[in-house]
Chains A and B, each alone.
Chain A
Amino acid sequence: MKHQHDEKIMNKIAEQLGADFNAEVIAEVAEHMRECPDCKIYVDSVKQTIKLYRVTESEFSVPEDVSDRLFKVLKLDNR
């Protein structure tokens, strides 16, 4: 980031990066992002990363053979 960031705002951004992005952004962070394109690019790229994983790691059904073996191991009737 080109200009100097004080520790307080960096900590707040870090806190945001470990929390829910849909939670209300702390006003101070939101204000900083409006003034600091680097920080905005950075946070946006983290959001993009999560989005990409959500798309590619879609949910699979349990394959039939896997399910059959599971119920056999558990000695349960799969019907």
Chain B
Amino acid sequence: MIKEAEIIRMALNGDQSAQTELVKTHSTRIYNLGLRIMRNEEDAEDVLQETFITMLNKLQQFSGKSSLYTWLYRIATNIALQKLREKKRLEAKISIHEPDFEALRGSQLREWPEHLEEKINDEQFRNCLSVAMEDLPENYRAVFVLRDLENLSTKEAAGVLEISEANVKVRLMRARLFLRDKLAHHLKCVGETR
């Protein structure tokens, strides 16, 4: 089996089968990353195409210090975030005020129902999960997707987003609390306030 470094070298030399191999190896991860950040198939396809166009045009800039997928995640995440910001501008939906994340901390303290996993076949519940994710501002959504859904480490996510590890941790905490709060309201687990 040829190592990826060798395939990259061949792709850089214009070997189309090596270029195809790289696209095939990484397209599923990039497509899913696009779906999770963009929340629709059409935009995920755009992210997929633009990521691999960029990869083929800029492969000589890949230093090999990180893995190729981390480098591709950085390209794809930047494209996705830029698209989301453009969309906001076009739809005039710029949120001047971010949600008050601090107010979310510890605001609902009733125990959640047991066997919540059984609810995931409930269309209304799935819709609630999806809407909560769409409502999460993109900077936080990207961190949640990279860390909790794509299973990147704090260090890898920081590298992809080009922010500090401390910043990743703060954004991840806020994203988790935001989503938790939305679900708590849906589940009517809203109890006493601190």
Contact = CB atoms under 8 A, between A and B. Distances in A.
Interface in B27-48: 27-28, 31-32, 35-36, 41, 45, 48
B170 A76 contact: no
B45 A19 contact: no
A70 B27 contact: yes
Contacts of A61: 28
Interface string B127-155: 00100010000000000100011000010
A52 interface: yes
Given A52-B117, A62-B28, A46 B16 contact: no
Interface residues of A toward B: which range? Answer: 35 or more
B23 A74 contact: yes
Contacts of A38: 106, 109
B149 A45 contact: no
A38 B107 CA distance: 11
Given A54-B148, A54-B149, A76-B16, A46 B129 contact: no
B176 interface: yes
Given A49-B176, A70-B52, A78-B20, A59 B129 contact: no
B27 A59 contact: no
Q: Interface of chain A, helix or strand or loop or mixed?
A: helix
B176 A57 contact: no
A66 interface: yes
Interface in B168-182: 168-174, 176-177, 179-180
A44 B53 CA distance: 42
B19 A60 contact: no
Interface of B: 16-17, 19-20, 23, 27-28, 31-32, 35-36, 41, 45, 48-49, 52-53, 56, 105-106, 108-112, 116-117, 120, 126, 129, 133, 144, 148-149, 154, 168-174, 176-177, 179-180, 183-184, 189, 194
25 contacts: A18-B171, A18-B172, A18-B173, A19-B172, A41-B112, A44-B112, A45-B111, A46-B180, A51-B117, A52-B116, A53-B179, A54-B148, A54-B149, A55-B117, A56-B120, A56-B129, A57-B36, A59-B32, A60-B31, A61-B28, A62-B27, A67-B27, A73-B49, A74-B23, A76-B16
Interface of A: 1, 10, 14-15, 17-20, 38-39, 41-42, 44-46, 48-57, 59-63, 66-67, 69-71, 73-74, 76-78
Given A62-B27, A70-B48, 7 more contacts: A1-B109, A19-B172, A51-B117, A60-B28, A61-B28, A69-B45, A74-B53
